[in-house]
Amino acid sequence: MNTLGLILAIALVAAFMAIWIAMQGVRVVLQRQRSELETSTRTTLADMFIFLDPAKIFYYNVVALVLLPTLVWVFTGNPVFVTFAAVATLVLPKYYIKSLSTRRLKQFEEQLPDALLMVSGAMRAGASLNVALESMIKEQKPPLSQEFELMLREQRLGVDFDTALVNMEKRNPLQDFSLVISGLRISREVGGNLAEMLESLSNTLREKATMEGKIRSLTAQGKMQGLIMSCLPLLMMAALNWIEPKAMGTMFTTLFGWATLTVILVMITIGYLVIRKITTIDV
């Protein structure tokens, strides 16, 4: 009895230690997630003129982190799918914020040639740079109008022109926009025909956008093939499970099957990322 009691006591202590270690790990993960979400909300989202409460975003993420894996477990009973659901719940908010930033920068880049042409035309008509920028802001849509309007507001509050340009460049880290900022700063320092320079930059950016469009059209087939090849094993697995549920059942109910599923999903993810990397050409 004493030996049995000692074994039970050791097992109970070990269980409590395992639970405590797991809780500490969860606490560390949640603290890191909260810190990253707060940083993204206060920097990336604020730069996009999207003002949200970081605490609410974190609490919504915690609720999703509890609810989504639970639902996956109820419907599938597969720990591999539950693990991937939990990881996806942690990663998706940061991925979504990054995708919003990328989409906004892309829209800003598409608006830039027309905006430069409008500023150049206004300056050729005799307007100053600030007046031409104000006229362009009234005609353009966000996000470009928001960025230039913020730059002009900073100047009205006493911020130096070069500093306001640098701040706008930090909010929009684009190679094409860096050329525009450099041109404006150089023209401001040494003089020259700013209207002609802006028109030349506008034409250059249009030609670059045309070339990028051709590259995207030529690589679209490769990207689609990568997506289809990545989804094909999952579709085959679903079809075999529907045709022979008994033969495929061991993959979803045994430890060896769960390990096989994990390897399959990891390899599919790596293959898709490699194909995306190959078909993504930076100009």
Of 257, 185, 265, 256, which Cα lies nearest the Cα of 230? Answer: 265
Position with higher pLDDT, 189 vs 111:
111
C-alpha distances in Å from residue 157, one per residue of 52, 94, 147, 177, 232: 25, 34, 16, 24, 58
Task: Say if 30 falls within a structural domain.
Answer: no
Task: Say if 167 falls within a structural domain.
Answer: yes
Position with higher pLDDT, 54 vs 83:
83
Task: Say if 56 falls within a structural domain.
Answer: no
Task: Say if 253 falls within a structural domain.
Answer: no
CATH assignment at residue 132: 1.20.81
Of 170, 171, 167, which Cα lies nearest the Cα of 155? Answer: 167
Task: Say if 188 falls within a structural domain.
Answer: yes
Q: What is the mean pLDDT of residues 124-137?
A: 87
Task: Say if 236 falls within a structural domain.
Answer: no
pLDDT confidence bin for 2, thresholds 50/70/90: low
Residue type, 1: M
- pLDDT score at 6: 67
C-alpha distances in Å from residue 254, one per residue of 30, 143, 195, 250: 30, 52, 71, 5
- pLDDT score at 22: 65
- pLDDT score at 4: 67
Range of the domain at 192: 110-209
Instruction: Provide the whole-model pTM.
Output: 0.73
- pLDDT score at 265: 86
Task: Say if 104 falls within a structural domain.
Answer: no
Task: Say if 97 falls within a structural domain.
Answer: no
Domains contained in the chain, number: 1
CB within 8 A of 219, min separation 6: which ones?
Answer: 279, 280, 281
Asked whether residue 11 carries a pLDDT value surpassing 80, the answer given is no
Contacts of 116-121 with CB under 8 Å at 24 or more apart are 116/180, 116/198, 116/199, 116/201, 116/202, 116/205, 117/198, 117/199, 117/202, 119/195, 119/198, 120/195, 120/196, 120/198, 120/199, 120/202, 121/195
Q: Are 251 and 257 in contact (CB under 8 A)?
A: yes
Instruction: Note the pLDDT tens digit of each residue in 250-263.
Output: 887 788 888 888 88
